[in-house]
Amino acid sequence: MRADLEVTVNRTLILIMPLQPALDWLFATDPSLIQQISLDSLRQEQDAYLVSEDKFNSPDDAKRWVERHWKEFFSQFLGAWYVDESLWPKGRTLNMFKEWFEVQHHSMVWDLSRDPLIREQLD
């Protein structure tokens, strides 16, 4: 086996993948986007979250953990599109989050780079 395929990191990967209701909101907020993006293209480039591997032991545990932090994930998605919170949907709930997003959990994270990890704080 190649040496670069023998190294994992002590993290779990979480992806919060938008579903059709998220795309529908984008189209309602800016109809010009209808010609520019599809659900597949929206799902192509999403933020990936690395979480300590001791936070959960199964995909169900990961999903419950995300559901405890749903407000932050929802705000992260909305804020990436519009910083003006008046454009965000009102009355956001956990059920709405579940309708808008699919949670993906990946327990094996392989580090294929020899470059050091760099942590950068965003303002």
Domain map (residue ranges) of the chain: 3-106
pLDDT for 4 beyond 60: no
Alpha carbon distances (Å) from 30 to 10, 18, 37, 68, 69: 40, 17, 11, 30, 27
* 2 compared with 49, residue with greater pLDDT: 49
pLDDT tens across 53-110, in order? 888 778 888 889 999 999 999 999 999 999 999 999 999 999 999 999 999 988 888 8
Nearest 5 degrees, angle CA 80-CA 94-CA 54?
80
Q: Which residue blocks in the chain are alpha helix, DSSP H?
A: 20-29, 39-44, 59-68, 70-81, 94-100
Q: Which pLDDT tens digit goes with each residue over 19-65? A: 999 999 999 999 999 889 999 999 998 888 988 888 877 888 888 99
- Residue 40 DSSP one-character state: H
Model confidence, pTM: 0.83
